[in-house]
């Protein structure tokens, strides 16, 4: 059986007795104990969908081909591999097959050449088709997409294809390299469980990030992960955000009165999962109160009948307001500062789209201040530089926007950092 360490840290463990609702933050941290994946791993059914438009010519495509070959060496003989390329049209370069025919597959990969424009939807459709040909009842099904440009006229079709794939249990990792790709589209494609985006800033990082992604898939020790929060009557969850291994909001549903759930999908062993929940607490009398009853449930890979469950209770003491400190727990503050910076830059780009440049500049400046306070000096400077550019020219740079967006998430240029 897998072992999980579970810890809940409130922003304050002692609350003031007030006649009005108050906000409490709680940091929920989940980590797998070492050796959680000693059981046999599920086979991987993988398809690479690679942009081979003319902008990929040269070192970029060479690195992608090298990365694809290295991925092939990581797969077991009973695992499936396919590769689709797209430019103005899409082509199945390697049809879905067991990875044991490595020499022939590598020959096919080495023959890929770059030319033409960028139309992503047909490439996605062929990639999903290849994955479906090799789908098994118990396997990890993943599509790994890489692009360096913008697709034209088929954005909505890309999202439709991704949604159908995700509904059938296919996760999507969408990778962007350079500064010309459409991060809004890739974010939308990946806005489901078992899917995510990543910004590759250096060609030299392509192989590392490709192989790290496959290693993550091989280390999945829990599937269909779900968290449940039961709160006191009249309390509510205002927001629920992931902060590790990367920052981003998570959909949370009130399935019953004061009971909230979120679905997380698959959980690789090396990923520490951490979440910040913002809870509105109703007026409470002095004394000790249970504020959150937390439940974690997941299924063991390869065995639909084995479900594990972990529970934790968060309590707090309510005292006379004159006796209560306003200090916030330093670990909660650490992640809250980063989360606020992420939200501020996201709202800044939304303001840019709405033509509200002064508001966008102010939000970027506030995000930069938060990042300085959090010790993220280099990223804070990049944010301030982009705010100055926006104020002076009325435009943000494509590269600056991506660096800020993915930098505040913790998903820039390398595998996620804590």
> Which two three-digit tokens encode residue 405?
């967006």
**Rg of the chain taking only CA atoms, in angstroms:** 23
pLDDT band (50, 70, 90) for residue 412: low
pLDDT in tens, 300-328: 887 667 889 999 999 999 999 988 888 99
- Distances from the Cα of 205 to the Cα of 70, 212, 405, 408, angstroms: 13, 10, 19, 19
pLDDT in tens, 394-407: 998 999 999 999 99
Strands 170-177 and 196-200: parallel
Q: What angle do CA 224, 230, 235 make, to 5 degrees?
A: 135
Q: What angle do CA 403, 61, 105 make, to 5 degrees?
A: 130
354 — phi, psi (to 5°)?
-90, 5
**What one-character DSSP code corresponds to residue 328?**
P
Say what the pLDDT of residue 97 is.
96
Say what the pLDDT of residue 415 is.
36
Say what the pLDDT of residue 18 is.
92
**Of all helices (H) and strands (E), which one includes residue 102?**
helix 102-110
More confident residue, 305 or 280: 280
pLDDT in tens, 76-126: 999 999 999 999 999 999 999 999 999 999 999 999 999 998 899 999 999
Mean predicted lDDT score pLDDT of the chain: 91
CB atoms within 10 A of CB 156: 11
Q: What angle do CA 81, 83, 87 make, to 5 degrees?
A: 170
Say what the pLDDT of residue 417 is.
36
Strands 80-86 and 44-51: parallel
CB atoms within 10 A of CB 290: 12
Strand partners, 16: 319
The pLDDT of residue 346 is above 80: yes
Contact between residue 334 and residue 374 where contact means Cβ atoms under 8 Å apart: yes
**What one-character DSSP code corresponds to residue 19?**
S
Mean pLDDT, residues 288-310: 88
**Scanning the structure block, which residue is given the tokens 């504020």?**
291
> Which two three-digit tokens encode residue 140?
């990890």
Q: Confirm whether pTM is higher than 0.85.
A: yes
Contact between residue 342 and residue 404 where contact means Cβ atoms under 8 Å apart: no
More confident residue, 25 or 180: 25
Residues of the chain above pLDDT 90, percent: 79
- Distances from the Cα of 246 to the Cα of 150, 174, 378, angstroms: 25, 15, 18
pLDDT band (50, 70, 90) for residue 1: low
Contact between residue 263 and residue 193 where contact means Cβ atoms under 8 Å apart: yes
Contact between residue 176 and residue 148 where contact means Cβ atoms under 8 Å apart: yes
Q: d(Cα 292, Cα 289) in Å, to the nearest integer?
A: 9
pLDDT in tens, 186-231: 999 998 889 999 999 889 999 999 999 999 999 998 989 999 999 9
pLDDT band (50, 70, 90) for residue 373: confident
CA 264 from chain center: how many Å? 10
Torsional sign, CA 334, 336, 342, 345: negative
Mean pLDDT, residues 234-252: 93
The pLDDT of residue 371 is above 60: yes
Residue 395, classed as helix, strand or coil, is: coil
């Amino acid at each position: 059986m897998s072992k999980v360490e579970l810890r809940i840290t409130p922003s304050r463990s002692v609350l003031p007795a007030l006649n009005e609702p108050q906000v409490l933050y709680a940091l929920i941290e989940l980590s797998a104990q070492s050796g959680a994946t000693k059981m046999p791993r599920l086979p991987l059914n993988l398809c690479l969908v690679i942009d081979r438009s003319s902008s990929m010519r040269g070192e970029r495509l060479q690195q992608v081909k090298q990365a694809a070959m290295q991925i092939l060496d990581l797969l077991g003989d009973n695992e499936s591999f396919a590769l689709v390329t797209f430019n103005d049209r899409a082509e199945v370069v390697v049809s879905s097959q067991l990875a044991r025919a490595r020499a022939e597959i590598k020959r096919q990969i080495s023959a890929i050449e770059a030319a033409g424009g960028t139309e992503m939807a047909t490439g996605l459709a062929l990639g999903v088709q290849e994955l479906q040909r090799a789908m098994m009842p118990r396997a990890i099904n993943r599509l790994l997409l890489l692009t360096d440009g913008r697709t034209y006229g088929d954005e909505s079709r890309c999202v439709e294809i991704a949604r159908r794939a995700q509904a059938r249990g296919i996760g999507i990792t969408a990778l962007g390299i350079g500064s010309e790709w459409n991060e809004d589209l890739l974010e939308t494609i990946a806005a489901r469980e078992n899917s995510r985006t990543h910004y590759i800033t250096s060609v030299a990082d392509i192989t590392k990030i490709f192989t790290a992604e496959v290693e993550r898939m091989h280390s999945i020790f829990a599937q269909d992960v779900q968290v449940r929060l039961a709160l006191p009557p009249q309390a509510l969850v205002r927001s629920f955000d992931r902060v590790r291994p990367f920052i981003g909001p998570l959909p949370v549903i009130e399935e019953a009165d004061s009971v909230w759930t979120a679905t997380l999908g698959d959980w690789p062993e090396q990923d520490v999962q951490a979440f910040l929940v913002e809870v509105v607490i109703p007026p409470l009398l002095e004394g000790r109160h249970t504020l959150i009853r937390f439940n974690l449930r997941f299924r063991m890979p390869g065995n639909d009948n084995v479900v594990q469950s972990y529970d934790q209770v968060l309590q707090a003491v309510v005292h006379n307001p004159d006796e209560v400190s306003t200090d916030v727990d330093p670990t909660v503050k650490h992640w809250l500062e980063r989360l606020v910076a992420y939200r501020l830059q996201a709202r800044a780009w939304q303001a840019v789209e709405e033509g509200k440049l002064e508001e966008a500049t102010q939000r970027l400046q506030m995000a930069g201040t938060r990042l300085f306070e959090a010790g993220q000096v280099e990223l804070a400077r990049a944010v301030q530089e982009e705010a100055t550019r926006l104020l002076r020219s009325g435009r943000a740079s494509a590269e600056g926007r991506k660096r800020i967006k993915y930098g505040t998430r913790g998903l820039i240029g390398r595998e996620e950092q804590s």
